[in-house]
Structure 1
Amino acid sequence: MNWKDEYQRWNSFEYLEASLKEKLVAIQDDEQSLEDAFYKNLEFGTGGMRGKLGPGTNRMNIYTIRRAAEGLAKYVISLGSDWAEKGVAVAYDSRYMSQEFSIEVARVLGTHNIPTYVFSSLRPTPELSFAVRHLGAAAGVVITASHNPPEYNGFKVYNEDGGQMPPAQAETLIRFVNDIENELTVSVIDQKEIEEKRLLRWMDEDVDAAYLQELKQIQLNEVTSSNMDANLNIVFTPLHGTAKDLVEKGLKQIGLEQVHILKEQAQPDPEFSTVASPNPEEHQAFELAIQKGTEVHADILLGTDPDADRLGVAVPDENGNYTVLTGNQTGALMLDYILSQSNNVPDNGLLIKTIVTSEFGRVIANHYNIDTLDTLTGFKFIGEKIREYEQSGEFQFLFGYEESYGYLVKEFVRDKDAVQAAVMAAEMASYWKAQGKTLLQALDELYKRHGYFLEDLQSLTMEGKSGSEKINQIMDDFRSNPLSEAGGLQVKAVEDYTSSVRTYLQEGTTEAIELPKANVLKFILEDDCWFCLRPSGTEPKIKFYYGVKSDQKADSEARLQSIREAVNDKFNPLI
């Protein structure tokens, strides 16, 4: 069907939910809005689906949720009856319709006699990952759109290990979802009935307590010891999301109690009304935290995104002005702290990072004789490797991170965990405060020891069908007409993850890339510099990543600017 046929199918559906019918009527004369809402099914990818709320096959609503849940039910049943009995764990965040969508998942699964364990109130995404493992569930779902704008929501799927599904597993689930022809007619069962049949079971503080018990594992130094400062002054903001209780309790149980919760952003709010975007990657999200930090002379500011899988950190400089660290910088500091403070670091210890994460981490790991493994972008690939090496014993996971503010310290969770990261960052700051240093000073010592690794990220938002076409055009142009140099630096190799081929330009040779296929291009330049193009899997964006290194900060800054200008000169005519 074309989009007009799909629109008519919805518009003529007798039992269309009333609020969706009202919204459909409101846009009935807006052809562009109707086309965007119906020109395709909302894509169900390897991590699930995410989109704008509203009526339509390309929108998040109870019908697209039911379609996804029906596919998940058929996937679980395909694993065997004993798997269906394990049930599915579900969590949700503070967004519009999140709680309603979580109940819709249970109503669909209930028609297949699959029990659903749903948190009685909002919880962080990493706690859902933990809950799947804690309960021995067959799968997990989080209703969240992470740090997207308020008009978005999503359906994020986890496997029995508590990790996001790796490609092979996800492809099986995707086939089940795509086989559902009519999302409007998916069967559901009444909430009261599934509660009475114990097919909807509510989770609460017991899982919280079990998670907090595991959280104690990450502590490396007692705050009462001579090399720690228990008077660390902390400002924390959950950015209207889910992290407040667990972060506050986690900090308290390691002995850090001087915590100022930013009251303006402490309560859940689907509008995220005090920020332009609830994303700790964007410095504007820290504006109120910086005001509070200045007022109370805080040593560190911590900010988590709404579903609490990403952490931002800001610290004062020598003049008392707060600097928001990049994800690469925070990850490097955590890695160095963990490796320097851990007793008996195993010979087979492993750092896992993504291909767009700074090479700074690899150099730090090498300093401690620790191997580094690169994965594709997405924490599901890090979780997959943790499980693989846990089973084989070849490596022992020590730390995992990605440049987009995602970190994992201990593997009792199999996704990035901002609660763990917040507690670790605070402990690390307490350690360095006792040495008379800020985290910025500790970072500068790392730069002086290993070189000035600097990075940048550029995102272009291109919404709708036309935006998707432009993103594809940019990727095609960089593939077919690759740059041979950027910013005066020669391109040594091009890595095309769509074909899994690395091409060495001067030698004219190729070799295979031993990673799953993905629509990613990475250009390796001379002198340890690089840039990378990747369409986002969760937002209508194309992202450009840049990484440079030199022995002097000014040289790295100049290189970063010149490479970015060269890349911009190439794609600007295409947009």
Structure 2
Amino acid sequence: MTWNQEYERWNTFTSLDRKLRSELDQLQQDEQSLEDAYYKYLEFGTGGMRGKLGPGTNRMNIYTIRRAAEGLAAYVKSQNGEERGVVVAFDSRYMSKEFSIETAKVLGRNNIKTYVFSALRPTPELSFAVRHLNAAAGVVVTASHNPPEYNGFKAYNSDGGQLPPEEATTVIDMVNQVENELEVKVAEQTELEENGLLEWIDEEVDNAYLEALKTVNVNSDVAQAGDDLSIVFTPLHGTAQMLVEKGLQQMGMTNVHTVQEQAKPDPEFSTVASPNPEEHQAFELAIKEGKERGADVLIATDPDADRLGVAVPNDSGEYQVLTGNQTGALLLDYLLSQSSDVPANGIVIKTIVTSEFGRVIANHYGVSSLDTLTGFKFIGEKIQQYEQSGEHTFLFGYEESYGYLVKDFARDKDAVQATVLSAEVAAYWKKKGKTLLEALDELYEKHGYFLEDLQSLTMEGKTGTEKIENIMDNFRKNPLKQAGGLNVIAVEDYATSERLTDKGTKETIDLPKANVVKFILENDSWFCLRPSGTEPKIKFYYGVKTGSSEESLSLLESVKQSVNEQLNQVI
């Protein structure tokens, strides 16, 4: 169908939800907005789906939620998972609880039991709950750190991980087989509750998660002395407050101050421009309180609590936000240096756009490392494979975008775990008279000055998608030979699984196919292009390494300039 036909199908649907009817009527004269809302179905990809709220096939609403849930129901039934059921959680966004109930009503109509949290909970607790309850699948209704007008539907497999490519393809096919989202049948909530097909869960799972969280603690002596460490924490209007506060308390961290203006769940995220700890502006209120209290460390989690940001005072007394790569390096070095029983087959897992710093640190301790594609689902998939084969023991997984996993009782990035460990690491270094920045400098002196950066271009709508495709196509067809004065020694195209070296040799990349191109430069430097799978963005990742901070900063800017020169010719 054309977008006009799809629009007419909705516009003439007599039983259309009253709120969506009102919103659709307001769009009658806005042809551009109508086209964007109806020119395609909101894509259900490997991570589920995410989009703007509103009427339309390309929007998040009860009908597109029902379509996704109907596809998931078909998948669960194909796995004979009806009795094991599906766990559903939701965050603080508009319509999140309503969408979670709609999901349960579709699953229940298919005779699939659902376990639904009655109040908002973090994404990592959903991952944990799937494993804890031995469920067949999981769903979390969230748009992570996207703007307030977004929401999403993330699907998890029976291992508690986001769906890896093979499973995702099966679920995507089943979602796409749902012919008419407006006609998907749902059961009544009260009927499901009476028949035991909808069970509300909360405290029992919370307590089990908190018990598992105790295993994140590496050195109990450090943690018990944690009252000397002053922590300011902000959940950025999201889901993390309860578990973070209880988790820190049970490990002995008592000098914790939550930013009260951001403690209350708020779908507008009214105190920040973006509820994303990657954005330094998100730390403004935490910095203000940190200065008032003389805090040693500031910690922020995103709304669904799977990402964590850390800020610490520098030599000037100002708070500096660490990058995801820097925090990951500090956590990894602490884990490997302080653990008394690092297994010989231990492994650290990171992504292809995460700093090489982590690999160097792992090598220093005689530990293997592995790269996966971007997306924590690939890290979770490897954890499951190694658990089954016994080939490796998982030690730590992380990605540059502020996602970390310490213990595998969850199978997705876990900001609650990362908060607890970050507090312990900060307490350890304070005991030695050092800040986390000074500890980081020690690592740089030992291993080299790794420096990374990320540039994102937001390009929304149909035209934005076309522009992103043009950029990727141009860099593939006209690959740079040099960047920042460094020669390109290899180009890795993950769409074709080929690595082409400057010597003309081709090698196979043993990873799933993905729309990513990475350019390997001399001297351990690189840059990479990747369209986001969850946002209307294309991302440019950069990494360099030299013998000093100043050299690395200069080289990084030179590499970025070379890339931007070609980019500007395209756009």
In the superposition, the TM-score normalised over structure 2's length comes to 0.99
> Deviation of residue 317 (structure 1)?
1.1
Query: Structure 2 residue aligned with 1:234, among 207, 231, 234?
Result: 231
Query: Structure 2 residue aligned with 1:308, among 305, 308, 327?
Result: 305
SS in 2 for 1:303: strand
Contact 2:491 2:517 (8 Å CA) reproduced: yes
Query: Structure 1 residue aligned with 2:517, among 518, 521, 537?
Result: 521
SS in 1 for 2:82: helix
In structure 2, what is the Cα distance between the partners aligned to 1:64 and 1:276?
28
- Number of the residue aligned with 2:264: 267
In structure 2, what is the Cα distance between the partners aligned to 1:112 and 1:398?
39
Opposite residue 424 of structure 2, the aligned amino acid is E
- Number of the residue aligned with 1:571: 567
Opposite residue 303 of structure 2, the aligned amino acid is P
Spell out, residue by residue over 1:339-394, the C-alpha distance to the aligned partner (whole angstroms, 9 max, x if none).
00001211111000000000000000000000110000000000000000011111
Query: Structure 1 residue aligned with 2:287, among 287, 290, 296?
Result: 290
In structure 1, what is the Cα distance between the partners aligned to 2:101 and 2:221?
42
> Deviation of residue 8 (structure 1)?
0.2
In structure 1, what is the Cα distance between the partners aligned to 2:202 and 2:248?
21
Query: Structure 1 residue aligned with 2:143, among 142, 145, 156?
Result: 145
> Deviation of residue 224 (structure 1)?
6.0
> Deviation of residue 486 (structure 1)?
0.5
- Number of the residue aligned with 1:76: 76
- Number of the residue aligned with 2:106: 108
What pairs with 1:331-350 in structure 2 (closer than 5 Å)? 331-350=328-347
> Deviation of residue 572 (structure 1)?
1.2
In structure 2, what is the Cα distance between the partners aligned to 1:417 and 1:224?
22
SS in 2 for 1:508: coil
Spell out, residue by residue over 1:263-318, the C-alpha distance to the aligned partner (whole angstroms, 9 max, x if none).
00000000000000000000000011000000000000000000000000000112
In structure 2, what is the Cα distance between the partners aligned to 1:346 and 1:195?
47
> Deviation of residue 319 (structure 1)?
2.6
Contact 1:223 1:255 (8 Å CA) reproduced: no
Opposite residue 67 of structure 2, the aligned amino acid is R
Contact 1:311 1:406 (8 Å CA) reproduced: yes
In structure 2, what is the Cα distance between the partners aligned to 1:22 and 1:229?
54
- Number of the residue aligned with 1:441: 438
> Deviation of residue 225 (structure 1)?
7.7
Query: Structure 1 residue aligned with 2:555, among 554, 559, 570?
Result: 559
What pairs with 1:102-251 in structure 2 (closer than 5 Å)? 102-223=100-221, 228-251=225-248
Opposite residue 55 of structure 1, the aligned amino acid is P
In structure 1, what is the Cα distance between the partners aligned to 2:160 and 2:168?
14
- Number of the residue aligned with 1:395: 392
SS in 2 for 1:390: helix
Opposite residue 150 of structure 2, the aligned amino acid is Y
Contact 1:235 1:301 (8 Å CA) reproduced: yes
> Deviation of residue 229 (structure 1)?
4.7
Distance 1:18 1:286, change over 3 A: same
In structure 1, what is the Cα distance between the partners aligned to 2:292 and 2:426?
19
- Number of the residue aligned with 1:62: 62
Matched, 1:90 2:68: no
Query: Structure 2 residue aligned with 1:367, among 339, 364, 369?
Result: 364
- Number of the residue aligned with 1:496: 493
Opposite residue 441 of structure 2, the aligned amino acid is D
In structure 2, what is the Cα distance between the partners aligned to 1:112 and 1:536?
33
What pairs with 1:461-500 in structure 2 (closer than 5 Å)? 461-500=458-497
> Deviation of residue 196 (structure 1)?
0.9
Distance 1:281 1:342, change over 3 A: same
In structure 2, what is the Cα distance between the partners aligned to 1:224 and 1:398?
20
- Number of the residue aligned with 2:31: 31
SS in 2 for 1:314: strand
SS in 2 for 1:286: helix
Aligned CA-pair RMSD:
0.8
How many residues get paired? 571
Contact 2:161 2:377 (8 Å CA) reproduced: yes
Contact 2:520 2:526 (8 Å CA) reproduced: yes
> Deviation of residue 574 (structure 1)?
1.9
> Deviation of residue 230 (structure 1)?
3.1
Contact 1:229 1:434 (8 Å CA) reproduced: no
Percent identity of equivalent pairs: 70
> Deviation of residue 492 (structure 1)?
0.2
Opposite residue 13 of structure 1, the aligned amino acid is F
Tell me which stretches of 4 or more aligned residues in structure 1 moved more than 6 Å: none
Opposite residue 305 of structure 1, the aligned amino acid is D
Opposite residue 235 of structure 2, the aligned amino acid is P
SS in 2 for 1:490: strand
Contact 1:304 1:312 (8 Å CA) reproduced: yes
- Number of the residue aligned with 1:546: 542
In structure 1, what is the Cα distance between the partners aligned to 2:145 and 2:241?
16
In structure 2, what is the Cα distance between the partners aligned to 1:60 and 1:225?
43
> Deviation of residue 222 (structure 1)?
1.6
- Number of the residue aligned with 1:408: 405
- Number of the residue aligned with 1:22: 22
Spell out, residue by residue over 1:454-508, the C-alpha distance to the aligned partner (whole angstroms, 9 max, x if none).
0000000000000000000000000001000011100000000000000002x10
Spell out, residue by residue over 1:96-145, the C-alpha distance to the aligned partner (whole angstroms, 9 max, x if none).
00000000001001111101000010000000000000000000000000
In structure 2, what is the Cα distance between the partners aligned to 1:344 and 1:21?
61
Query: Structure 1 residue aligned with 2:414, among 413, 417, 425?
Result: 417
In structure 2, what is the Cα distance between the partners aligned to 1:285 and 1:533?
26
Q: Which runs of 5+ in 2 are unaligned?
A: none
Query: Structure 1 residue aligned with 2:322, among 322, 325, 333?
Result: 325
Opposite residue 450 of structure 2, the aligned amino acid is F
Distance 1:225 1:259, change over 3 A: closer
> Deviation of residue 212 (structure 1)?
0.3
In structure 2, what is the Cα distance between the partners aligned to 1:554 and 1:96?
45
> Deviation of residue 525 (structure 1)?
0.2
SS in 2 for 1:51: strand
Opposite residue 150 of structure 1, the aligned amino acid is P
SS in 2 for 1:230: helix
